[in-house]
Amino acid sequence: MKRLAILCAPFLLVAASAWAADPAAPNLAIDNVHIRVADPAQARDWYIKNLGATAGEGATQVYFGKMLIAIVKTDKPEPSTGSAIDHLGLSFPDLDAKMKELQAAGVKIVTPVRDVPGLFKLGFIEDPWGVKIEVVQDTERLGFHHVHLSAADPDAALKWYEDMLGGQRDKLKGRIEGLRYDGIWLLVSKSATAPVSSGERAVMSVGWRIRDINQAAGAFKAKGAKTVVEPRAIGKLWYAFFEDPNGARVELLQRPAQ
Tell me the pLDDT tens digit for each residue of 62-104. 999 999 999 999 999 999 999 999 999 999 999 999 999 999 9
Q: pLDDT averaged over the chain? A: 92
pLDDT at 46: 98
Is the Cα torsion angle 16, 17, 20, 23 positive or negative in sign? Answer: negative
Q: Contact 245/157 with Cβ under 8 angstroms?
A: yes
pTM of the prediction? Answer: 0.90
Q: Contact 123/114 with Cβ under 8 angstroms?
A: yes
Q: What pairing do the DSSP bridges indicate for beta strands 237-243 and 226-234?
A: antiparallel
Q: What pairing do the DSSP bridges indicate for beta strands 61-64 and 132-136?
A: unpaired
Domains and CATH numbers, the chain: 25-254 (3.10.180.10)
